[in-house]
Structures are given as C-alpha cells and as structure tokens.
Structure 1
Amino acid sequence: MSKTTIIFLALMGLFSANFSCAKPGIGESFQDWTEYCELLENKQESCHIYQTLTLKGDKTPILSLRVQHIPGKKEPVLFITLQLGVLLSYQPVMELDKQPLKMQFQFCETDGCSAAKVLTEPMLQVMKRSEKFIIKFVNMDRKLIAIPVSLKGFSKGLAKIGKQPKGKG
C-alpha cells in the first residue's frame, strides 16, 4: 500500500469519525476557492479550502476539490471527488504545468469517487504561479474528460488555512 493511500485512508477515518456536531463554518472566499473550518471532537479546528465545479446550466457537481493540511504532515493533500460514472480502471490524472501526475481512486460513495494527491513543495510553487491545472479521467463511455481547475485565489486561501490544525481549549 502506498504512502498516499495510507494517509488517505487514515484521514477518511479520522475526519468521518471525529467531526462534532458543531455548526459548519464557511469562511472567507478567495476568488474561486473558499475556506471551510470545522471543530473536531478533540477541540482542534480543521480548515481546508475547496472548490466545486458543476455542469453548465445545472447545479450537479462533477468535481469537488479540497486542499487540507494533515496533522503531523509537512505537505498539504489535495482530495478530489468525481461524480459517479467514472471508469475506475483508469486512474485520474492531475496535469500541472503540462506534467501528468497520477492519482489513485480510494473509494466511492453516493456522492462520487475520491482520490488524493500529496502536494509537494515544488508542486505548490507551480500551483501558486499558475492560473489553472487540469483533472483528467475516463467516463463509463470510455471518453477522456479533461476539466480545468482555476487556481485564482489558491495562494491566499492556502496561506489562510495555515500549516496545521489549531487547538481550541
């Protein structure tokens, strides 16, 4: 099992089991990215930035993205959720600065199929100076789908959520 897979599975267990019933906190918007914070049961505030892309003329989400710092890890992690109907045998690709970076599907739920990618410092530097990156995947009809993701506001949003979850209390 890869390092990314282990981190992803651990986080899914951590965050699905430890969220309190506190009121969700949608914070500041940074152009195309929005801050979201939640208070965990251990009294730590967990914040991330997210973006949801929908079909034109419809509000159906086709791609949701979240960037979050993980306790004890230096690099933030990009989590994506693609709508149901993706071909799981073809792993999604994050194309950044024309470089394909493979991601790996971890699981599917009723809202879609999820994958994760640790964002290394060189990747973050490219993201901070770029206007967009592309998520590519194959649908059930075996068509390659390429979705551009705006990076407008990414740098400011990432700086706002800081490096680690913050203790409260």
Structure 2
Amino acid sequence: MHNLLTRISIIAALAVAGPAFAQDTTAPQTDAGQTDATQTEAPAPADPGLAMGETVTDGPQPGQTYVREVSGDWSLECLKVEEGEEPCQIFQTMTDGEGNQVANMRIFKLPAGGQAEAGALVAVPLETLLTAQLTITVDGAQPKRYPFSVCDRQGCYARIGLTTEDIASYKRGASATVTLVPFVAPDERVEVTLSLSGFTAGYDMVTVPTE
C-alpha cells in the first residue's frame, strides 16, 4: 500500500510538472529572440483533469435550519433566509429515565388576534395509542388533553394551541409532564418530563410571523 501511494504521488507530481520538465530537458539552445517568439506563440498547457476547488462558506445557508441560541433546556431554532427577519421557534427533546428520546415539542408564536397566542407541535413514536390522546400537566395543575392530528413514517403529531394563560403557566412553572399511552400496552402510561427551565427567555426570542 505504501509503494502504491508513493507511485500515485509521483505520477500526480509529474502530471503537473510534465510540460515544464519536458521543456527544460529537451528544448534546443537558441538565441534570445527566437526563444521569446516561441514562448509567446506556445499556448498554455491545459489542466490535466485537476479539480480547482470551490470556496466553502461557513454557517447555515438560506433554506437551512440551525440552532441560534440555547436557553436553559430549550433551543432556539431558526430558518436562514437571504434577507429580512428569520422565523424562529423553540424546541426541546424529552427522554425517558434511560436517556431514550420519547417525544419533542416545538413552540411557535401566532399572529395576534386569535384565541391561541402560540402553537405547538408535539411529536411522539408511531407505537402510540392515538385514541388515548396526549396529556400535558404543568406543575401538577389541571391537565389538558390534546388529540393527535397526523402521522408519517417518523412519528405521530399533536398540533395544539396555547392560550395566553397557558404560556403564562409555562413561564411560571418548573416542569410539565407529558403523558402518552403505548399501543401495545393500553393499560400503561408513559410519562416524560418537559423542563421549563429557560422557557421565558427562549419564548421571548421566538419571532412573530408577518402577513
């Protein structure tokens, strides 16, 4: 393998230096005027299949999402745009006691004037019993139940609305409990913790969509 790599390196070097090497070793001796004319008339050698490379731009490109900031247990996720304000939302991944990802929640603001101040998308595994719905309890208060709206190959989703009172309870709270029911064990409940640490600062950075 070492000899093969050495041979490849030598061949590559000769491919680049070949025209100049041949000219230096085979060109007959001539007077200065003839040499200048020959060098002027000779076309530049073509690049022997070399890749010239391209400029690499650091950071996200337009149309890509990226995490701009982290606030406690919440991350601010934004969409890179060419101009104007970037749309941003906050999200958190919830895990079980063994560190396995069970669900995630994304919260985004809605235009003013509606019943809901914000919306949220909660994603859960495909093996969830959809008819049991999704329950969220903030700091032991009265729980709220939400239906699932759609599933794809990656999971099932509940699209929920959050009122001003809901957002206020999230800001005051320490944590919420998200409860779902496994399809294979309808008598059981899976509870995961949604931390509210950093929620207030993170939510304040979420952008409001424009018309």
After TM superposition, the score normalised by the length of structure 2 is 0.62
Q: Which has the higher contact order (CA 8 A, sep 6+)?
A: 1
The CA RMSD measured in Å over matched residues stands at 2.5
Q: Is the 8 A contact 1:45 1:166 kept in 2?
A: no
Indicate whether 1:122 and 2:165 are aligned.
yes
How does 1:72-91 map onto structure 2 within 5 Å? Answer: 73=114, 75-91=117-133
Ranges in structure 2 where 5+ consecutive residues have no aligned partner: 1-60
Encode CA deviations 1:24-57: one digit per residue, 9 max, x unaligned.
2211000100001114799663210000123455
Question: Which residue in the other structure is 2:110 paired with?
Answer: 70
Indicate whether 1:49 and 2:90 are aligned.
yes
CA distance in 2, matches of 1:69, 1:33: 15
Q: Is the 8 A contact 1:45 1:165 kept in 2?
A: no
| Other structure's SS at 1:27 match | strand
After TM superposition, the score normalised by the length of structure 1 is 0.76
More strand by share: 1
CA distance in 2, matches of 1:34, 1:157: 7
CA distance in 1, matches of 2:122, 2:81: 21
CA distance in 2, matches of 1:104, 1:161: 25
Q: Is the 8 A contact 2:111 2:210 kept in 1?
A: no
Question: Which residue in the other structure is 2:77 paired with?
Answer: 36
The percent of aligned pairs where both chains have the same amino acid is 25
**25-34 or 72-81, larger mean C-alpha shift:** 72-81
Over 3 Å counting, the alpha-carbon distance change for 1:82 and 1:25 in structure 2 is same
More helix by share: 2
Ranges in structure 1 where 5+ consecutive residues have no aligned partner: 1-19
Shift of 1:61: 2.5
